[in-house]
Amino acid sequence: MKYPIVLENGLDGWIVVSCPSIPGCISQGRTRAEALTNIRDAIELMLEAIEEEGWEKPLEFLEVTTIDIEAEVAA
């Protein structure tokens, strides 16, 4: 199964990565590769906990898209 993830630059220079379809599933890494490895581990652990505890399954569908916002130029 594929899960969407979001990568962001942290204030401390690390890359913060989260899985929005699994609330609270967040990790980080010094590099993109490390962040991706760490979030994979976090997702696997969360899915194990979900199964063991009988929690609600993660969303099966999540759409990520963009929206254009035109900025006004200050005079």
Per-residue pLDDT, 75: 60
Per-residue pLDDT, 61: 67
Domains and CATH numbers, the chain: 1-75 (3.30.160.250)
Q: Can you give the pLDDT of all 75 residues of the chain as single tens digits?
A: 888 899 999 999 999 999 988 889 999 999 999 999 999 999 999 999 988 988 877 766 677 777 888 877 666
Per-residue pLDDT, 71: 76
Q: State the first-to-last Cα distance of the chain, in angstroms, to the nearest integer.
A: 50
Per-residue pLDDT, 63: 75
**Strand positions, DSSP E, the chain:** 6-9, 15-18, 26-29
pTM: 0.76
Strand order in the sheet with 26-29: 6-9, 15-18, 26-29
